Amino acid sequence: MPIEETGRRVTRRRVRTRARLLDAAFEVFAARGFGRVSIEEVCEAAGFSRGAFYSNFATLDELFFALYRERADVIASQVAEALAGEGPDIDVPASVDRVAEVLLLDVDWLLVKTDFLVHAARDPGVAEALLGHRARLRAAIADRLFRARGNTALPAVLGDAEGAAHAVVAAYDGVTTQLLLDKDVEAARAWLKQLLTALLTDGGRTPAGTRARPGREHP
């Protein structure tokens, strides 16, 4: 068998192994929380040995961050696609609707992310890497908001597109914190639309169907 073909098979197998380890880690981290899970438990859930684990990750921290990066990339792609639909002069209120409709609001993922945030707060190296991912997400949002200036002016109180991007991410963080407690995805999407509309426009337009239900607490 040619060496090149053997290498491709090994690479494909390693990719599948890595994907299974990430999927298994997501399940056990969501169920039990980071810090309560061992490498052995991840391997057992994935159906692999410790050797398979160490051929892909040096530590649980490395695996956890790979998992976070994978999910964060999904969110970044969702935001970018939702804000890229109308050319250079996007309609901010319409884009708010699209972002709120597609943005990842998965309770299990939010549990994993919250564990990771707490872990990062205690580890400067992990915190620095996490801050880098959040900065890239904000930069992508700011770029699209900057291009939208000719269609809808951003509120002056936010300063500029970068300030508005900070506000967008902060709104998402607040809404997802509430979602962790009440598990109401529909209410979370409605509240996210309201917050983003108020932040990025004069607040005068309330998208259809976004009025939060009476009695519902929000962050």
Give the pLDDT confidence score for residue 7 in this predicted structure. 41
Q: One digit per residue, pLDDT tens: the chain, 219 residues?
A: 454 443 455 588 888 999 999 999 999 999 988 878 899 999 999 999 999 999 999 998 889 888 887 887 777 777 767 766 555 556 667 777 877 887 778 888 888 888 888 888 988 988 998 888 788 778 877 777 776 555 556 667 677 778 888 888 888 889 999 999 999 999 999 998 888 888 777 544 444 444 444 344 444
For 153-176, b where at least 16 C-beta lie within 10 A, e where not — what string? ebeeebeebbbbbbbbbebbeebb
Amino acid residing at 203: G
Give the pLDDT confidence score for residue 206 in this predicted structure. 44
Residue with tokens 């900065």: 135
**pTM of this prediction?**
0.68
Q: In whole angstroms, what is the distance from residue 193 CA to residue 187 CA?
A: 10
- 38: nearest Cα among 63, 16, 72: 63
Whether the Cβ atoms of residue 193 and residue 186 lie closer than 8 Å to each other: no
Burial (Cβ within 10 Å: 0-12, 13-18, ≥19) of residue 12: exposed
Give the chain as a 3 state SS string: CCHHHHHHHHHHHHHHHHHHHHHHHHHHHHHHCCCCCCHHHHHHHHCCCHHHHHCCCCCHHHHHHHHHHHHHHHHHHHHHHHCCCCCCCCCHHHHHHHHHHHCCCCHHHHHHHHHHHHHHHCCHHHHHHHHHHHHHHHHHHHHHHHHHHHCCCCCHHHCCHHHHHHHHHHHHHHHHHHHHHHCCHHHHHHHHHHHHHHHHCCCCCCCCCCCCCCCCCCC
